[in-house]
Chain A
Amino acid sequence: MLRSRRWCKISIVDALALHRFHFAFTVTYHYLFPQLTMGLALLIVVLKTMGLRTGEDAYHRSARFWARIFAVNFAVGVVTGIPMEFQFGTNWAPFSKAAGGVIGQTLAMEGVFSFFLESTFLGLFLFGERRLGPKGHWWAAFMVFLGSWLSGFFIIATNAWMQHPVGYVIAANGQIALSSFRALMLNPWTLWEYLHNMAGSVVTASFVMASVGAFYLLGGKHKPYARIFVRLGVTAGLVASLLLPLPTGDGQGRNVARWQPATLAAMEGLFETVEGAPLAILGQPDVARKRLDNPLEVPRMLSFLTYQRWMAEVRGLDAFPEDQWPDNIPLLYYSYHIMVGLGTIFIAVMALSAWKLWRGRLFRCRPLLWILMLMLPFPYIANTAGWITAEVGRQPWVVHGLVRTAEGASYNVSAGNAMFTLIGFMGVYGVLSILFLFLVYREIEHGPEPSAPPEELEFAVKR
């Protein structure tokens, strides 16, 4: 009897862990693509605008080159995005049943308002350059940008509600029902999370563009285009990197301090409540002994950043019952610190590059071009780490304060079946990665110069 109860408990733990990893894996992989899509959509609009203003063909060709990469990236983003919506129902049925009446609103709005817009205008943008004319084509690019940024908004609004539920009532049957659509749309959590996320997305696209430009310059190829890429990448990258800490990251941090104080304590590795709390730059949290090993700290900084007073009291993890602590404090602590550390490096690299660019020396400064080229993976890592901070920070809740993650998983789907599909997704996404890298590398290798005669050009601009 005892044995069978024990076995039953273990299998539930296994199923929960698998459902969590299933979602974590598929969503982490998926978000590698939209973060480039959204930022690149903006940069393509900028390229199209400069093309219209200056009348220089190089800008239009640059836009076409990035549109080809955008198309491959978008296709993978679409096919890996569809499983996300379905997984709410398949792997998280009790959560969906409880909260679907609220988060279903924003998810359905994403489909209705942004996916139709995006898919319609992407077709026109990729095929219709000749038929639409320069102005019409600019509008098509703008609508693709609008659609992708709207899509980001609805997803962030959904996530913001899970982080900080507003505008709901709990119905008699235990389901969470919407009580104010206005409150759902104007959730104070949405604003900073959205702006922070979009700044991160522009950082990814800027670094990718600058990186490809630096790659061409170092190899002595496609120089006129490479200069456009580096100039735009560095300029947009500097602005977006600067927006990451202030005001967006700061606003997001204050929301966490106000509504998820236990999460803030865990992110900062603060185990004890103190006045004048220090900011940990480095150090390893030891959850069993409730302390931070080898800390490198800035005294009183955390108090100041959180409350703008050097001696303000910041609640540590000891102020909260352990069953409300995030369940993976080290992961939360490290992902947050990786995000912040990389963000600081982004500002430094972009500021230095922008200064050299302004002095007209960047294109000859090979060490800096090498750095710009090699920076390519880091915005992806920083964006991923940021999302891990948000999602692991919300634990042990799936809807903060309302539904625990352990209550939200589909236990009618066994651990064995969840593992089967997890392995399946790993295989499918592994193949997709190879294809994606292969096709994008071919585009980069081919470069922005049209290889076909002009009348064949649109043939090459395919999605």
Chain B
Amino acid sequence: MQEGAVLELRGICKNFPGVRALQNVDFTLREGEIHALMGENGAGKSTLIKVLTGVYPKDEGTIYIRGYDGPAAIKSPQDAQEMGISTVYQEITLCPNLTVAENMYIGRTKSSLTNWKKINRDAGELLDTLGIPASPTQQLASCSIAVQQMVAIARAVDMECKVLILDEPTSSLDEQEVAKLFNLMINLKSKGVGIVFVTHFLDQVYEVCDRITVLRDGQLVGEYVIEDLPRVLLVSKMLGKELDDLDGVGKADARVGYDAGGVSVMEASQLVSTAGIKPFDFSIQKGEVNGFTGLLGSGRSECVRALFGADRAIGGTLSMNGKKVRISKPLDAMKHGIGYLPEDRKRDGIVGDLSVRDNIILALQVMKGFFRPFTRAQAEAFADEYIKLLDIKTASADTPVKSLSGGNQQKVILARWLLTNPVFLILDEPTRGIDIGTKLEIQKLVLKLAAQGKSVTFISSEIDEMLRTCSRLIVMRDRKVVGELTGDDLTQNKIMTTIAGGENP
């Protein structure tokens, strides 16, 4: 182990069926430092943390922990706890039905009897010191999400830990609570605890962290001292593009002509949904390709979900071709000619056990009506047409869609929406987790659709992809639209600086 290190990971590999989530990743955490782990969605941060805490078994590599000779065998969350690694996960992993005090002590007390007086007293003291506004005897579910997250942090802090992992703990906290958390982190740091901090808020990284490790596509990009890595550079590392590299690539293709002065195919004003985004405006013309950009969690998916009716709108108005429309559920949007390819393919997109054919015809079939099913011949004709058109690689149209590769599953969902002949197609991360060839095919398809007079809204974590396809970008940060870029502003640099917060290099 290196001098001063409390935790060392060497050559960690982790594969999921069809995905190489981590490839040969190294990570070192030193005593008394706050170390940010950064990367876009799918970069492997969460996987790395789950390997480290024993939630997933690792395929290869070794973990060293100070105080333990040789490679540490972490097989379960219990093991990790015992070796002094305590973790606060992004989603709250406490039991809502138990009291605050009990949540802080369950699963880590040795005695087989619960001394309520003692744990209530201890918990009360701890809550007081940390300034968490909760009573130890209160049921956890009655606390706000932020307080629950603070309780999880309190639990992690209270364990005699050498390593504290905070996996996006701040997403539900307000500014004051974040400030409290940071005080706590700095306090722990001075006591020699090593802290791994995962967040997608850049400001927070620069506020408290000492070092940054960047991951991309399951691989290590590098470890940097915070002073050496300005914000814009960090964004470019995360996105995998050098700053002035590739600027303006494919611009010529992207500028497909459209009537900028015409009536908007779809227009939203001050739209708000139940998903907790700030009100936003949106409009798209016939034949236009535009996009939402921003880091993960910036609210870009929530915006398009609101447009499609996937999240219920609670304010604002929508109009199509100048006429006001009401979209309260996805079927309404579909009837108005909107298609939506969701971000989470597995959860919201495919219907895994159904055949490729049924998956392709699903949306059109629903629009056609319950009592008017397609004949077998019709369904086969549709499926075959689109399997050929999009070059979907499947054994047959009868194959369950879940047995296809990610890229081909995505094409099946694309086929589903193309079949409905939409006037406005929303594609949320259509290229995530699929091979480069398919990515290019999808980009070409988007441009072709625009040329045919369809409107497309495109979301991608990869900026050059957006640059190649979109003629207008709506930039989001912290669940709010912070800018709109068109024409000459559409450069990698400009986008990154807008995402990072208006700071120019």
Whether chains A and B associate is no
